[in-house]
Amino acid sequence: MSLQEAFEKTKKELTVTPEKLNEITNHFVSELNKGLSKTGGNIPMIPGWVLSYPTGDETGEYLAIDLGGTNLRVVRVTLLGNSKFTYESEKYAIPGPMRTGKSEDLWNFIADSLDDFVKIQYGSAKLNSKLPLGFTFSYPASQNAINEGILQRWTKGFDIENVEGHDVVPLLQKAIDSKNTPVEVVALINDTTGTLVASKYCDPSTIMGLIFGTGCNGAYYDICKDIPKLEGKLPNDILNDDSPMAINCEYGAFDNEWAVLPRTKYDIQIDNESPRPGQQYYEKMIAGYYLGEVLRLILLDYYSQNLIFKNQDIKPLQVPFAMDTSFPSRIEEHSATFVEKLFLDSFNIKTTEEERNIIHDLCLLIGTRSARLSVCGVAAICKKRNYTSGHCASDGSVFNKYPHFKERAHEALNDIFQWNTDPKDYPITLIHAEDGSGVGAAVIACLTEKRLLANKSVGTIDSKL
Ligand code: BGC
């Protein structure tokens, strides 16, 4: 087989046809419903206990922290009402080994960073009460109340012992208290829920919050009494008022039983070699943590067949995750000539013109597949909730940085919904989100405080709140 023939074969495997998009989306709808049913399914569909829609009139001052993949962000947000806000924030780089280190080290690192931030922001000012904080924790965490989050499993390469199965709020609160920092964690928030609420605070036509980043996920508002798995668990005040409920879908776990996704041998290898095989099948095909790895595995496969980088030592490329997503993203952004310098500088590998063109085209295929598969979750939520128009607030490195992601995603949505109008008139669009982990966390903390002041519940019958 020639390199060109191998590429043609890969191209076929990575291409997602409109028919396949429809098949995946239809299966997705039934999986979303299954996740809300009493028996449950692959997709966790976690009720996030945000029980009202923001109006834009919320006011107050809140702290927020966002534990992302590479940074911890601490934010002081002032909600001014009238859909306006101001904020100040600081980033603290998460030391690499901490992703797979000890639980106490993680909580102490967060508490130390928060303490540092509070000292900078408030100096020696005497505070009358503890500062309310919204904790954006972007991993699947079950919630029986707004201030609880029992980690189901780590994703995105995190693997810290003794956290799965535990409520992360008391773990963090204990570390905060040990530093005598005057802060109380009042809400635990997924980044998608934060994105949904922050964007809705500013734009009432927001219908969902989406992250296309290191991981992938979406959140939307359902109605409490339409969620079978909450039957018998809802306090009367929630049941009686037709309350909305933000759902953190955790749809990165879609199709873990592999019924419809067109997985390639590269996707299967990524899964097998990951800390949690058998989990997050969908996410592992489309999210930023994995896109560079897909490219690397394809190239290694070609190399093993003596089709590419002939007679060269490619050791640096044989290191797992040697290419992060900025590789395919930058390669697509520039032309094939950029590949020459990139491969020489990063891996000491020389490339021929044919190789460079093929690497460039592979990046195009990987990015296109990611965008097309990514919108199946979006389309499924629209179908489930009968949304025929609205804004899907979107954030994350893939959405913000991967070339053409948005156009490709819109094209795929059109393949599913067949609007057949000019792209600028598509009724459902992905738009750049407001700052979910800062503003979203603040708005959610504010909505929670309001409910508690009005003696309304923010959790199940059994929860303490
Ligand atoms: C996590 C989600 C998160 C998403 C985007 C996934 O790996 O499970 O909780 O929303 O990444 O950050």
- Ligand 1 residue neighbourhood (C-beta within 6 Å): 138-140, 155-156, 190-192, 211, 213, 215-217, 250, 252, 283
Look at residue 156 in the predicted model and tell me its pLDDT: 86
Centroid of ligand 1 to alpha carbon of 215 (angstroms): 5
Average pLDDT of span 394-413:
97
Is 103 marked active-site? no
Q: Could you tell me if 94 and 156 are in contact, meaning their C-beta atoms sit under 8 angstroms apart?
A: no
Average pLDDT of span 338-354:
97
Task: For the chain, give the percent of residues with pLDDT over 70.
Answer: 99
Average pLDDT of span 137-153:
96
Which residue is closest in CA terms to ligand 1's atom 12? 215
Average pLDDT of span 195-214:
97
Which residue is closest in CA terms to ligand 1's atom 11? 215
Give me the chain's average pLDDT, please: 95
* 90-106 pLDDT, tens digit each: 999 999 889 899 999 99
Which residue is closest in CA terms to ligand 1's atom 1? 139
Domains in the chain (CATH in brackets) are 1-47+202-434 (3.40.367.20), 49-189 (3.30.420.40)
* 358-383 pLDDT, tens digit each: 999 999 999 999 999 999 999 999 99
| pTM of the complete model | 0.96
* 109-139 pLDDT, tens digit each: 999 999 999 999 998 777 788 999 999 999 9
